[in-house]
Amino acid sequence: MSELTLQDERTAASVRLERALVALCIVALIAAPFFVYPIFIMKMLCFALFACAFNLLLGYTGLLSFGHATFFGGAAYFCAYAVKAWGWPPEAGILLGMGGAAVLGLVMGFFAIRRQGIYFAMITLALAQMFYFFCVQAPFTEGEDGIQGVPRGTLFGILDLNVAMNMYYVVLAIFLIGVFAIWRIVNSPFGMILRSIRENENRAISLGYSVGRYKLAAFVMSAALAGLAGATKAIVFQFATLTDVTWQMSGEVILMNLLGGIGTMAGPAVGAGLVVGLENTLATSGFPVTIATGLIFMICVLIFRRGIVGELYARWLAPAEAGGERDKG
């Protein structure tokens, strides 16, 4: 919709405000571990990167994948296995996880882009369930127990990741690099073509773009970045389990996007922070998490489709864009 013209129409004031907000967030994240339990923020950062990677596909290409847990959890397994069983250093493990996720993304994307809309969602869901069953049966995942006791190791042979602060800043760096990569992709000519596919696939075809290839490329990039998040999470928490490959996890990342704001840069990260925070709170209260997430899903779809950041945008930052609600997939 209006997002293509957004770049030119934005006022200098709102650009300044945005830059200031980004700088403020980075400073806050650098200072955060001195005030909040670092493990908790690291969890938030991993899920935030996962959600942003997902948004690259849903928000900017208009493809709803219901199978992203495959890349997140799959990369966690690959990374955990390489680091624990083969004694790989953490950076190699993370890269392997990312590469593995990209390969899985290539395979899943190859099948899924043959259909559109809800069929796309159902195919990704089914293929992700297939990967889940594979993980249940394959010996290297160690079944219900998962891969436990993964050593954090030393990054590049110099930085000891067993020190909480070292680990934290490495995760923060990975998060920032990942989000920067997504920002670059979205604002490149390639990203513009993705948006044109989202807005009107037939017109993109008639303009001569091989839409299938662009969709597949976006799918693989999204998968690789989701894998980066998953592999990092495996190093932080030192385990990889079946939880991360279930369909509930695929649903959770959709919820993060929906709640924060689909198709906004900051929305998925905000949504991820809220969902992770909520789960942490509920874990001690006895109220079932699934009921809460289900209710938020229903409320968001019914009355809050723009999400938190989307609403903020529509109200304050870019009043001219009001009505930019993304109703078309």
| Stretch 179-218 residues interacting with another protein (CB under 8 A) | none
3-class SS string, 269-314? HHHHHHHHHHHHHHHHHCCCHHHHHHHHHHHHHHHCCCHHHHHHHH
We find the least distance from the C-beta atom of residue 94 to another protein, in angstroms, to be 29
Map residue 21 onto helix, strand or coil.
helix
| Among 93-101, 119-127, 144-152, 316-324, the segment contacting another protein (CB under 8 A) | 119-127
Among positions 8, 34, 137, 208, the unique one binding another protein when judged by CB under 8 A: 137
Pick between residue 86 and residue 133 the one whose CB is nearest to another protein. 133
| Among 87-95, 132-140, 177-185, 206-214, the segment contacting another protein (CB under 8 A) | 132-140
Answer yes or no whether residue 247 interacts with another protein by CB under 8 A: yes
Q: Rounded to whole angstroms, how far apart are CA atoms 62 and 57?
A: 6
Q: How many CB atoms lie within 10 A of CB 187?
A: 13
| Stretch 31-90 residues interacting with another protein (CB under 8 A) | 64
DSSP 114: T
Answer yes or no whether residue 133 interacts with another protein by CB under 8 A: yes
Between the alpha carbon of residue 160 and those of residues 86, 151, 154, the distances in Å are 19, 11, 4
Q: Rounded to whole angstroms, how far apart are CA atoms 12 and 163?
A: 43
Block residue for tokens 């293509």: 4
Among positions 37, 86, 119, 316, the unique one binding another protein when judged by CB under 8 A: 119
Residues in contact with another protein by the rule CB under 8 A: 64, 111, 114-115, 117-119, 121-123, 125-127, 129-130, 133-134, 137, 247, 251, 254, 258, 288-291, 293-298, 301-302, 305, 327-329
